A and B are shown apart, each in its own frame.
Chain A
Amino acid sequence: SQKIEQNSEALNIQEGKTATLTCNYTNYSPAYLQWYRQDPGRGPVFLLLIRENEKEKRKERLKVTFDTTLKQSLFHITASQPADSATYLCALDITGGGNKLTFGTGTQLKVEL
């Protein structure tokens, strides 16, 4: 069955450092992968989408890579700030069309002063 794995342990980093979060998947070849941010008690908010033919995508301090051979996406936040503290979810469409997403369980990021 399709599996999406994100590190369940919280990632604690110091302000100003680069945070790197990992999303691994098995048994599927998604055409694209999405990353969302979720704050406690609130709905997820879309951050970035990367397609299978794109190696890397950037948006301000965010960078996403997508390695379809390794079946892995990395999500980077450079110059991290305490306001970046949240849970980050990756999601992919396992149906191959229709935007029916399967989400990972998320990794909690804590940025400390």
Chain B
Amino acid sequence: DADVTQTPRNRITKTGKRIMLECSQTKGHDRMYWYRQDPGLGLRLIYYSFDVKDINKGEISDGYSVSRQAQAKFSLSLESAIPNQTALYFCATSLSSSPDEQYFGPGTRLTVT
């Protein structure tokens, strides 16, 4: 079974809809991250969490919110989706010690029409 899972894997939604992307991990890592990837722009950090009670904004947090429901679960919400949020979204985890490699999920392809 995959260590970092994301649901859904693909989603098409309409402008203005609320949508939640979910991430679960079985690695026992404290740190979790949400990124989006756009062609030509690379991976950009949206939010990150170093433990259940710690949530931090990343480079591009506007229009997004997150919830760390448990050590193993980190959800990303788009309160009112807009077309320029169409992208590939990745969740990642890492150990609490730094530096450390990040383990990425398979990604969610989101299309906002």
Nearest A residue to B95, CB-CB: A99
Chain B neighbourhood of A43, CB < 8 A: 4, 90, 92, 104-107
Among the listed A8, A99, A105, which residue makes an inter-chain contact with B102, where contact means beta carbons less than 8 Å apart?
A99
Q: Are A103's CB and B42's CB within 8 A?
A: yes
Chain B neighbourhood of A46, CB < 8 A: 101-103
Among the listed A89, A97, A99, which residue makes an inter-chain contact with B94, where contact means beta carbons less than 8 Å apart?
A99
Q: Provide the B44-84 mask, 1 if CB < 8 A to any CB of A, else 0.
A: 11001010000000110000000000000000000000000
A13 CB–B CB distance under 8 Å: no
Nearest A residue to B42, CB-CB: A105
A16 CB–B CB distance under 8 Å: no
Chain B neighbourhood of A45, CB < 8 A: 104
Q: Are A106's CB and B42's CB within 8 A?
A: yes
Q: Which of A1-59 contact B (CB under 8 A)?
A: 8, 31-32, 34, 41-46, 49, 51
- Interface size of B by CB at 8 A reads 28
Task: Report which B residues bind A (CB closer than 8 A).
Answer: 4, 31, 35, 40-45, 48, 50, 58-59, 88, 90, 92, 94, 98-107, 109
Chain A neighbourhood of B98, CB < 8 A: 93, 97-99
Q: Are B107's CB and A98's CB within 8 A?
A: no
Query: Given A98-B50, A103-B42, is A42 in contact with B107 using a C-beta cutoff of 8 Å?
Result: yes
Nearest B residue to A96, CB-CB: B98
Chain A neighbourhood of B109, CB < 8 A: 41
- Interface size of A by CB at 8 A reads 25
* Closest beta carbon of chain B to A30's beta carbon, Å: 9
Q: Are A34's CB and B99's CB within 8 A?
A: yes
* Closest beta carbon of chain B to A107's beta carbon, Å: 11
How far, in whole Å, are A108 and B78 apart by their CA atoms in the complex? 31
How far, in whole Å, are A45 and B90 apart by their CA atoms in the complex? 12
Q: Are B101's CB and A49's CB within 8 A?
A: yes
Q: Are B41's CB and A105's CB within 8 A?
A: yes
Q: Are B105's CB and A100's CB within 8 A?
A: no
Question: Beyond the given A42-B107, A44-B43, A100-B45, could you list 18 further A-B residue pairs with CB under 8 A, ordered by the A residue number?
Answer: A42-B106, A43-B4, A43-B105, A44-B102, A51-B99, A93-B98, A97-B98, A98-B50, A99-B31, A99-B98, A99-B102, A100-B58, A101-B45, A102-B45, A102-B59, A103-B42, A104-B42, A105-B40
